[in-house]
Chain A
Amino acid sequence: MTAKPKGDKREAACRELRERIGAEKVRDDEITLVTYGRIRQGFDTMWPFRKPSLVVFPEAREDVVETLKIANRYKFPVTSVGTAPIMLGTTEGGIILDQRRRNRIIEINTDSGYAVIEPGVSFDGLTSALRGTGFKCSVGTMPGPGTILGQALGRGSQSFTTRYLNVIVDLEVVLPDGTVYSTGSSHFKNVGSHLRYGPYPDLAGLYTCAYGAMGVITKAAIRIHPVNEASRIHFAGFDNYSDALDYVKDLIDNNIPEHTFIWNWHMYLTWPLAPSDLEAVMPQVLKSDIRKPPEGTPYNLVSSLLSGYKEQVEVYEKVCAKVAQKYHGRVFSDEEIEKRFPATMAGFRQQYGDYHYRESVHWSKGRFAGWYVFAEPKDMKEIEKFAVNEFVKFGKGINPVNYYSHPFDFGRSILLRISGFPDPTDIELRKKISKKFDEMYDVALKKYRAIPIRPIGSDRAGTYMDVLRRIKKALDPNNILNRDAGLFEEGEL
């Protein structure tokens, strides 16, 4: 880790910043600094406390440009963050660039199907704005107040990722020297954000999963999708993951669902819980073995959003039923789901009916410990068994063990995201889990050809990381951007 900037340098940078962008956008009071000192996954004592020197709240793109230029000149580390839990490490003595005040929805283009947003726009903000437009955006498993860009840049799991690898069409980026450019079609004067790349290489990809290390995003165009004449969620239950995955693949291969998710029973029962349901459902789940659902409770529930013209959806439903039978599954009617798993149904109704989040207390169980991998379908069947068995070894103290799994890019790659909820104050257990996860990533890569969703150390990525390092050095020669943030290991540049 780079040494903390000295006091005189800090004061000079702070003074200059205040003059250039306005004092009200720059905070260095002790209370602000300590409350931003441990924002990784909440105030989590498992991670180092790194008090910034300044927290900057830009209100315009130019504020970001000025901040980066000054930071670059003083070689001040900058970490760009949004709202909601982050996976990023911040830098001791650095600047935190909190773009929450930049929350305008600049354009909703229903002709081409994209929305241009500032980095502070939340899922709640965009899903509200889209009501009545006949369009919807992809939603995922983050809380509604979470920023869209935060999740999109991390290639998070979202509804339309069944079809597309991510939701980004175009990004406006500021580099440490103050250069501003757009990665897609909007870089050309008077051209909208309809095309991700062309005639040049796809540079938006450079900022996806880069965790802010390559540039600061100040604007983004994301995909939005038409709300079709008819839509409904189809449910099918399966006794094992293998059958559920074959079912999902079959549907995707035949262009049936808009998107489709496989949920394990711990997750579909507890994810959408409101506080009022918590006591009724959670106690049974907490003492259960994830591998053995109660009689009549399917091990996996597959939700498939079917949409299109009314006639089309009716046919899709019949196809889903036929395919479910082919893979030993059982169709669950809305009435049955409503009766047996009311919280589940309420969650799906909100997410797929209103196209926004169920405000649940799922995450309040504690900080989750999550393990995420991508693999080809046949490998994922083995990985699911492996991961579930490893999670069972942690004991019931980490229940519920929630997982969901779904295709990306029409099923070329399958995601499995499995997590447990250890007591957040049990640091020893959480460290043990974290260590175990690293071992599991190794096994998953070597034995099952699975790629982790987050960086796992440059020693395992070889020349890929070499190239990234070269690009990083060219764009950010002073290494000021998100230097402890996850793409590169601390201090490795």
Chain B
Amino acid sequence: MKLTTTLEDVQAAASRCLRDGRCTYGPWPENHPLCPIYWHDPSFTFSGGGYLFLILALLDNRINFDQSIANFAFSCASCIACDNNCSVIRCHEPYVDILDIIRLLRSEAVKRGFVPGGIAKKIYDEVKKTGGYGQASSLKLPDKIKNDKADTIFFAECSHTSAQKDISRAAVRLLEKIGSPVSQFSESGCCGSTLYDFGFWEQLEPLVKANWEKMKPLKDMKFVFINPHCQEFIHKRYPEILPNFSGIHHQHISQLLAGAFKDGRLKSIKAEKVKVSYHDPCYLGRGLNIYDAPRDVLASLSGVELVEMARNRENSFCCGARVAGNYVPNLSDDTARERIKEFEGTGTDLLITACAYCKDHFQKVMPAKDRGRVKDLAEFVDERT
């Protein structure tokens, strides 16, 4: 969505909502509940359509913009399930998805000075103070593979989560095992996905522009991402935000690993039997349509048996990490617990995911003794190769 879009611009599209709840659950015949806020507290209000109706009510002066609207807007988990299941809204000008419209609502809230407490406020304050977002990852590529002229660029610039550092290190070790030369995009900074998602749009544009200036000379190279949020944002949103963006070649680490197994550059050496479930992260799956590569990687590991959870692939259930509002108490953690319950139902030993937010959040709600059962794909592969 263009950052200049206004609530008035989406009014006609939002008014097409049929109020039928299609945005809340997956395809027939399974009809799995997928929207976290609706699953938690089923009502029309707590659905994609509810957000659209709220915007229409705001435009119709039926409700005043206040802090509660910000809390509500940030309570959506941003999991893209609504857009995967409702095709009505995007068929109309300005041809945007429901989640984009919710982000627009967040940006309106932020513009008016309403930011929910907690993680959103923390990030907002950091952005206001520093003009940017993202801590230095302090990640150094080993000399063995580091080559500034390499045609593969490792994108692991920021480290917003504690899991990200471990995942980055595991990914670097894997790159070393594969042995192909790589360069690093940057040692600090941010792609801007969090600022976009949280509606901090005023601060977003300069950051994105600066990133693109750095990327432009490298656009014919292949960018390898470990965080699907970064990859999805650059691939899908940069073109909407930057008129002169011309696209980059991009690959998720799972795709790189799948290729490396296939052509023999990476070999499974640990054969201990283990049963795993794979959690499709929302932005890797629904965002980027990457479902097979992580499964191919797991299938390449000796002794590993994948047992799917009932909700998988495009019908995966969110981890709840991106719920940053508190309109529905405990929504974020309850969402993660629901997913953990589904994982436990498979009877498997490990829960593998491919996103730092998911790993962090699952571990947060698990008893300390069980936290080691959640691993990122890169870490898991690193242990067994």
Contact = CB atoms under 8 A, between A and B. Distances in A.
Contacts of A85: 18-20
A393 to B, nearest CB: 25
Nearest to A356: B28
Contacts of A32: 43, 45
Residue of A43, A144, A274, A354 with highest tally of chain B CB at under 10 A = A43
A100 B21 contact: yes
Nearest to B58: A34
Interface in B22-43: 22, 25, 27-31, 41-43
Given A36-B44, A43-B53, A49-B60, A127 B18 contact: no
Contact of A145 (B21, B29, B53, B56): B21
Contacts of B124: none
B20 A35 contact: no
Contacts of A367: 16
B12 interface: yes
Interface string B44-67: 110000101110110010110000
A278 B91 contact: yes
A34 B66 CA distance: 14
Given A43-B15, A45-B15, 18 more contacts: A27-B45, A31-B68, A34-B53, A36-B45, A43-B52, A49-B60, A49-B62, A83-B20, A85-B20, A100-B42, A100-B43, A143-B18, A143-B20, A144-B22, A145-B25, A275-B91, A359-B87, A424-B12
A84 interface: yes
B87 A361 contact: yes
A101 interface: yes
B18 A34 contact: no
A125 interface: yes
A276 to B, nearest CB: 9
Contact of A128 (B31, B43, B68): B31
Given A36-B45, A84-B18, A85-B18, A364 B31 contact: no
Contacts of A27: 43, 45
Contacts of B60: 43, 45, 49
Nearest to A101: B42
B62 to A, nearest CB: 5
B43 A34 contact: no
B72 interface: yes
A407 interface: no
A124 B11 CA distance: 29
Contacts of B14: 43
Nearest to A59: B42
Interface in A225-252: none
Contacts, number: 135
Given A35-B53, A356-B29, A42 B19 contact: yes
Nearest to A29: B68
A483 interface: no
A12 B22 CA distance: 35
A51 B61 CA distance: 13
B15 A37 contact: no
Contact-size category for B: 35 or more
Contacts of B63: 30-31, 34
A131 interface: yes
A295 to B, nearest CB: 29
B62 A37 contact: yes
Contacts of A29: 68
Contacts of B15: 42-45, 424-425
Contacts of B191: none
Residue of B12, B28, B327 with highest tally of chain A CB at under 10 A = B28
B20 A364 contact: no
A425 B87 CA distance: 20
Nearest to B69: A31
A366 B45 contact: no
Contacts of B11: 425
B88 interface: yes
Contacts of A143: 18, 20, 22
A184 B30 CA distance: 32
Contacts of A30: 63, 68
Contacts of A425: 11-12, 15
B79 interface: no
A35 B16 contact: no
B68 A57 contact: no
A39 interface: yes
B44 A83 contact: yes
A125 B18 contact: no
A38 interface: yes
A124 B32 CA distance: 11
A309 interface: no
Which 8 pairs between the two chains have the least Cβ-Cβ distance?
Answer: A128-B29, A364-B88, A34-B57, A84-B20, A43-B56, A145-B20, A35-B53, A35-B45
